[in-house]
Amino acid sequence: MEQEFDSLKHLFQQEFTKMVAVISKLFGLQHIEMAEDIVSETFLQASETWGVKGVPANPTAWLYTVAKHKTLYQFRRNKIFDNKVAPEWVAQEKEQAYVEPDFSKENIKDSQLQMLFAVCNPAIVSEAQIGLALRILCGFGIDEIADAFLSNKETINKRLFRAKEKLRTENVTMELPGVAEIASRLDNVLHIIYLLFAEGYYSKTQDQILRKDLCVEAMRLGLMLTEYAPTNQPHTNALMALMCFHASRFTARQTGEASYVLYEQQDEQLWDQDLIHQGIYFLGLSAQGNEVSSYHLEARIAYWHCVKEDTPEKWEEILALYDHLLQVNYSPSVALNRAFALFKVKGPQAALAEAETLKLEDNHFYFVLLGELYKHIDSQKAKSHLQKAYALAKTQTEKQVIQEKMDDLEK
């Protein structure tokens, strides 16, 4: 029974988003909640039926067949079939008896791509876009989304409801923008994928420092964009390269669910060389054209972190990339990372002179950096900064890493 449950859970993660996208495309985004209900009822029926009769030979085909029947029944029952859909079908009766969800591989891919652009509509606030993406495009449950946002189910449900209302009131349709509009809309889509990966790469949840499931879904969405010519742009490939390089070190970053391994202590043998080579491939594709986006620069920095040798040339290149990145897309975290690169190139005094001007008093990473820099100059000041970092850290894993740094100072 446990094996059947795991099989159904795996299928849910794989097929939920595909089925919702296809059904929503057929009947419109104004009925997206009904599409979710249909798919959820399909999986509920699968759980009940398979528990008695066992898993069918082709479980995916079984799900699609049941979903087709439920789709037609649901819309007829709510009179949407009679009042809104049927008139359009009458004109098609000579060609086909009825319209049903098309779960062909090509239509699933098209539907998911169209859903991605619909969810990332500028009319919806960024945080709600991520929530919708997790639910509609990645198949995450409300509990999982609440964990990702350090929130609760009620808040997430309200946020998703408002986002879906926005889809209706703005009359957002499931179709790809015209080629001229794709360029501007693609930036927003890539940003949401980037945020999704970033949340997984450094999770804010209390019990996990790394959420691989979020990262894998972000990479899946990015890969989908590279397979469609108008969205297969240099900065799309740069983002894919960035995610591949970071994902290559997943195994080396953890020794257990909550044990985080710092970069300097990682075992290079655990790095995934296939993903590193894939990242290099996408980085090569990203070099086409004249634009240098923040994804290009971050991907190059991530590439250098896949080179273990701690050479001056490596850190000089990383420092130059951070200098460029600050000009393209300034953020406090980039400034902090640049200060560390400056330390590796010019030493602690030069890095301190710049780091202390940032004054990020509510950021525990800021005090971790000051602790690292003062370690080479004044151990008491280093300890004081690490204590501040410990007090500000939000997860036990972070506190554990900071405590280890303080213990090292004592030694």
pLDDT at 142: 85
pLDDT tens, 100-155?
788 998 999 899 999 999 988 888 887 788 888 888 888 888 887 887 776 788 98
91: pLDDT strictly greater than 50: no
**% pLDDT > 90, the chain:** 45
pLDDT at 396: 81
pLDDT at 397: 79
pLDDT at 1: 47
**% pLDDT > 70, the chain:** 89
Answer whether 378's CB lies under 8 Å from 408's CB. Answer: no
Mean pLDDT within 242-255: 89
pLDDT at 125: 83
Whole-angstrom distance, CA of residue 121 vs CA of residue 124: 6
> Is 366 or 99 the better-scoring residue by pLDDT?
366
In terms of Cβ atoms closer than 10 Å to its own Cβ (0-12, 13-18, 19+), residue 338 is buried
From residue 393, alpha-carbon distances to 105, 162, 264, 388, 390 in Å are 45, 32, 21, 9, 5
Phi, psi for 256 (deg, rounded to 5): -170, -175
pLDDT at 90: 43
> Is 78 or 1 the better-scoring residue by pLDDT?
78
Q: Which of 27, 50, 26 is nearest to 12 (CA)?
A: 50
Average pLDDT, the chain: 86
Mean pLDDT within 207-229: 84
| Tokens 């002179």, residue located | 353
- Structural element, H or E, at residue 249: none
User: DSSP secondary structure string, 46-59?
Assistant: HHHHHHHH---SSH
Hey, what amino acid is at 211?
Answer: R
Whole-angstrom distance, CA of residue 397 vs CA of residue 386: 15
pLDDT at 96: 41
